[in-house]
Every structure is written in C-alpha cells, then in structure tokens.
Copies of this chain bind each other. A is one copy, B any other.
Amino acid sequence: MAETRTSPAPSSATAAPQPDAAAAAPAPRPSKVPKTERGRRTLRALLNAAAEEFGEKGFHDAAISQITARAGVATGSFYVYFDSKEAIFQALVRDLSGQVKDFVGPSIAAAPNQLAAESAGQLAYLNFVRQHKEIYRIIDESEFVDPAAYREHYTNSAARIAARLEAAAQRGEISAGDSEVRAWAIMGMNVFLGLRFGVWGDEAPEAVVQEAGRLLAHGLSSPSASGEERA
C-alpha cells in the first residue's frame, strides 16, 4: 500500500563548480544587501534568529517581533533587510537548502562507486537531519508558505541524483533505466527514512542505511524467485 506525504530533501551535492540551477533564481535573498560591516552582522543575526523561531514555532506562530528580539535588534530593523515574513522565510529556505547540499555533498563525492555513494549520502542526510531537526521542519513547511522554494529544493536534489545515476549507468556500474523516476524514488526513501529514523527516532543509523542499501542494490526479490515476472 501507499499513502500521502512530503518532506525535506536528502540532496547530495555536486562538488563540481558547474553553474547551479539556483544561480538562475530571480530574486536574491535579502531585499537589501548591506553595505557596511554592521549591516552584514545584523542581517546574519536576523537569519539565525529566524531559523530558531521558525524551527520552534512554525511559520504562522512565529512572530517577527520574536525574531528581532532574538536577534537583539529593533522591530523596524527587520524591514531594512526583508520585505515581509514570507521574504525572510524564503531566504531561509534557500539558505538551508544549500546547507543540506553542502553537508551531504562531500560524503557522496568521496564514495568509490554509485551504490556506495547513495548509501553515504543517505547516512550523511540521516545524521544531518538528526542534528538539525528544525531545518527539516522549515523546508517541509515551505510547501505551504513558499511552494516555489519547496519545489525548487526537491527538483534540484532530484536532478543531482539523476545526473549521478546517469553517469553510473554509462560507466556500467548500475543497470539502465529512467533516471528521473529512480531519482525521485530514492529521494523519497531518504526523506522518509530521515523522518522516521532521524526526526522521530534515533535508532542506529548504520543499520537503517545498510538495510536501505540492500534494497537499493538488489530490491526485494528473494535470490531464487523473481515474483514480478510471473505476476
């Protein structure tokens, strides 16, 4: 059986310097780019405070007055840098999306082959989620607050996975197949395992990743039988 759902991405970056799709994003993060050092500090303080506040309370229960209080600045200062609550949320999502990518990416790049890479990415993602539950929550909520950012986040992640699969297939490491479908499937696995074993539970991640790796490598079929064909 199968049911509904959604969540923050496993991601896994390309260390390569190729122009990221995000580079084409229309609006730069903060509505005002600070020109002085002082301004840069204030902006950073606001983003950090926002991550805390949104993570703890969710978008709607978060209050701008609380964000500025946490950041130690006046209410009005908020609007020097962001046009609205939505605007800072969006800036945050893009920021965090990048953080996930940057955290997970290196593990993947270091893996000897594709299957190992996916497992490494999964493990890194699980650990990241466990340490940054608020990030998971924030990205998830963007589905409702800023659908475009949400979609962008997952579309980018899937594209990176698909590119890796494509390359591996050409190298003969894995079988050929529709990379996009596979990428979304793998991403979904990662996200849900992250939810269950990263956010909600804290079972040993290695065991989880091992089991998932087996599934990814050989599927469910028993060595002897291959049920599907006979279905």
CB within 8 Å of B: which residues of A? 1-6, 58-60, 97, 100-101, 104-105, 108, 111-116, 118-119, 121-122, 124-125, 129, 135-137, 139-141, 143-144, 151, 153-154, 157-158, 160-161, 164-165, 172-175, 177-178, 180-182, 184-197, 200, 207-208, 211-228, 230-231
Contacts and interface: CB of A to CB of B under 8 A. Distances in A.
A230 B113 CA distance: 9
B181 A193 contact: yes
B4 A135 contact: yes
B116 A1 contact: no
Number of copies: 4
A215 B160 contact: no
A194 B4 contact: yes
A112 to B, nearest CB: 5
24 contacts: A1-B157, A1-B161, A2-B118, A2-B124, A2-B125, A2-B187, A3-B101, A3-B104, A3-B153, A3-B190, A5-B187, A6-B191, A6-B195, A60-B60, A113-B227, A115-B220, A115-B227, A174-B220, A177-B214, A180-B196, A182-B215, A184-B197, A213-B228, A216-B220
Q: Which of A101, A191, A197, A216 has the most CB of B within 10 A?
A: A191
A223 B231 CA distance: 21
Contacts of A184: 189, 192-193, 195-197
Contacts of A187: 2-3, 5, 192
Given A114-B220, A178-B211, 9 more contacts: A3-B104, A5-B140, A5-B187, A5-B188, A59-B60, A172-B224, A175-B218, A214-B219, A217-B221
A119 B116 CA distance: 26
A161 B5 CA distance: 15
Contact of A221 (B124, B174, B188): B174
B157 A3 contact: yes
A190 B140 CA distance: 17
A29 to B, nearest CB: 19
A69 to B, nearest CB: 13
A60 B86 CA distance: 14
Contact of A219 (B3, B116, B216, B227): B216
B4 A211 contact: no
